């Protein structure tokens, strides 16, 4: 039986390894925001779309989160660099301190699902673009 809290984000084929991510609507402390999901080294990872250095969205165009090598997540505004697997800051103005807020995701039957938690809840169910 599927977890009733799971929210369908996208098809698995929408996420290429080190490629564009998919944005989705979330709510943090009652305020609308976006999360995003990416594929890295064959696995899916999701984060709140908010730089740990300065509270701004990471993507420079909707869904563009990776550097040109498809290895690190980049804040387009300030250049902070984040490890795609852990969300940990690895360089740039955040000085290697802090991390992105991870969101729980699951990949099942060709679909990617987000599981909201107490801190980040479901926003408008449409995607966050």
DSSP code per residue over 15-83: --BTS--EEEEEEETTEEEEEEEEEETTEEEEEES--SSSSS---SSTT--B-TTSSEEE-TTT--EEE
Average pLDDT, the chain: 91
**Left if phi > 0, otherwise alpha if psi is -120 to 50, otherwise beta: which for 41?**
left
pLDDT number for residue 125: 54
Q: Which residues lie below 8 Å from residue 30, measured CB to CB, with a gap of 6+? A: none
pTM, two decimals, is: 0.91
Superfamily in which the 7-122 domain is placed by CATH: Rieske [2Fe-2S] iron-sulphur domain (2.102.10.10)
């Amino acid at each position: 039986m599927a977890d009733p809290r799971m929210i369908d984000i996208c098809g698995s084929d929408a996420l290429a390894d080190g490629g564009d991510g998919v944005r989705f609507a979330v709510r943090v402390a009652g305020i609308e925001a976006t999360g995003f999901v990416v594929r890295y080294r064959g696995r899916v990872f999701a984060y709140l779309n908010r730089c740990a250095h300065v509270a701004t969205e990471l993507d420079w165009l909707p869904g563009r989160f990776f550097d040109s090598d498809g290895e690190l997540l980049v804040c387009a505004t300030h250049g902070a660099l984040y490890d795609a697997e852990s969300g940990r800051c690895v360089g740039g103005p955040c000085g290697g301190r802090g991390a992105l807020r991870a969101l729980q995701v699951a990949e099942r039957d060709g679909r990617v699902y987000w599981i909201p938690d107490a801190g980040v809840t479901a926003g408008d169910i449409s995607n966050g673009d």
